[in-house]
Amino acid sequence: AQTVTQSQPEMSVQEAETVTLSCTYDTSESDYYLFWYKQPPSRQMILVIRQEAYKQQNATENRFSVNFQKAAKSFSLKISDSQLGDAAMYFCAYRSPIQGAQKLVFGQGTRLTINP
């Protein structure tokens, strides 16, 4: 079974600075999908970025980028120019491509605080 580990329960960063959230995962599959979701106090889980394991290029979405290290099974999220609205719980998630097994497996989350 796949597992996802986020080793940083809490992180804080000054507004406008850069922060990196860590995620490692365990799987025996060679093809899969990785996601970062953001959950603000409103509770709704919002997709931040996704990465297909077969792609060598790291995904980027505006101020958000990932460092995907397949051999190390590492998938970190970098947030540049942090803004107050980035404050939230961030969850790393893994999904298998196999039909009937497309559940998301989540990590425990990292609470990100932005200091003004």
On whether the CB atoms of residues 53 and 34 are closer than 8 A, the answer is yes
User: For other proteins, which is the closer residue by CB, 19 or 36?
Assistant: 36
User: For other proteins, which is the closer residue by CB, 19 or 93?
Assistant: 93
Provide, rounded to whole angstroms, the least separation between the CB of residue 98 and other proteins.
Answer: 8
Provide, rounded to whole angstroms, the least separation between the CB of residue 115 and other proteins.
Answer: 22
Task: Write the burial class of residue 116 (CB in 10 Å: 0-12 exposed, 13-18 middle, 19+ buried).
Answer: exposed
- Lookup result for tokens 């120019």: 81
Which residues form the interface with other proteins (CB under 8 A)?
Answer: 4, 33, 35, 37, 42-47, 50, 52, 91, 93, 95, 97-109
CB atoms within 10 A of CB 63: 13
Provide, rounded to whole angstroms, the least separation between the CB of residue 106 and other proteins.
Answer: 3
